[in-house]
Amino acid sequence: MAKIQPFAALRPKVDVASKVAARPYDVLSSDEAKAEASGNPHSFYHVSKSEIDLPAGTDIHSPEVYAKAAENLKALRENGTLIQENQPCYYIYKLIMHGRSQVGLVCVSSVDDYNNDIIKKHEFTRPEKEQDRINHITATRAQTGNVFLAYNDVPSINSIIDSWQEHHSPVYDFVAEDGITHTIWVMNEPGTVQEITKLFASEVPCTYIADGHHRAASAALVHNSLQSEASAWFLTTIFPASQLAILDYNRVVKDLNGHSKEEFLSALEYDFTIEAVGHSPKKPAMLHEFGMYLDKTWYHLVAREGTYTTDPIGVLDVTILQNNVLDKLLGIKDPRTDKRIDFVGGIRGLEALIKRVDSGEMQVAFALYPVTIQQLFDISDSGNVMPPKSTWFEPKLRDGLLTHVV
């Protein structure tokens, strides 16, 4: 069963929370972070992307960057921008995007659960990305990045969280520059805190990493060296599955691997039915449907029977596309390393695919139907991992609002 605990968060003063809040460190470049933090000394980018305060061209993995992050975090604490809670609490984090809301519980989860597969994974991690987070946590003695977890709904937990929102005022409530609303409540009543902890321990057999595999892995490795009580737990926000939406994660490819357009379309017909649908974007409406944009025309593709299996990995549309198009026809064996392919998150819309192709940068684009949360759970339960770039979650939690000090 899932072990979670309340924690005494390091968090902003109320009047500067919206200025502190920063997008996750790994969704934007150093230049983008520098632009967003310009003129804002409160921005958490000074901690999460501290290279913005160092000379241009500084290696983002150099010791100076991690030292600067620690220096900047210390300064934010000393000048009163960030304060530490005086008791362990749970926090309720509500996000609203395009009228749809999702509500998660911010807590710390057990490193032992991570190591013992009570916290289930669906993605391989890369050592160099783990080391980056290890260095950042070790230098700052803080987990600044949240691990996004999901679990199968438990009505009694949902009821407590709903009731707290109804009867208490939030500590933060603001709309970020991208239009997403961020609202946070502090759950500090001891009896309620204890009840939440007990319910997770008795009613939630496991949780699933939705986003943040590298943050979770690095937290576990840091604990191996620190061996402190605080480092035995890592920062998580846990959402009930019914509230989550996974967006599509689409593909663009530089060339047709030597095929003419006519040869490529003909070869596709072996594994797909194909229909040209004109100039308007074709968004897949169900599993095993694909949109393809080539030479200013959208095509509707449907995978034929026999092109996929029914096992948790084989049934995925990312697998169908990889096996029957990217590998078989376009010669892309490993999409993680091949420079001819790129990935476009669904948050950018299908217009982003059109732009990449019409510019001449890419020759063909593929729009996929999103992976479902149940498919993610099935793969995690089976012990398998998803193909790379399979899921895109939105909206994303903001860094700096709730930090776990280790």
Over the stretch 196-236, which tens digit does the pLDDT of each residue have? Answer: 999 999 999 999 999 899 999 999 999 988 888 899 999 99
Over the stretch 80-119, which tens digit does the pLDDT of each residue have? Answer: 999 999 999 999 999 999 899 999 999 999 999 999 999 9
3-state helix, strand, coil in the chain (%, to 5): 35, 25, 35
Q: Which residues contact 246 (CB under 8 A, 6 or more apart)?
A: 370, 371, 372, 373, 376, 391, 392, 393
CA dihedral 362, 98, 121, 225 (to 10 degrees): 100
Would you say the pTM of this structure is higher than 0.75?
yes
Whole-number pLDDT of residue 126: 82
What gap in Å lies between CA 113 and CA 388, rounded to an integer?
24
Overall average pLDDT of the 369-380 stretch:
91
Whole-number pLDDT of residue 282: 78
Rg (CA), the chain: 22
The beta strand positions in 157-232, using DSSP E, are 172-175, 181-187, 207-211
Over the stretch 252-305, which tens digit does the pLDDT of each residue have? Answer: 999 999 999 999 999 999 999 999 998 888 789 999 999 999 999 999 999 999
Whole-number pLDDT of residue 164: 98
Q: Is the dihedral of CA 322, 324, 330, 333 positive or negative?
A: positive
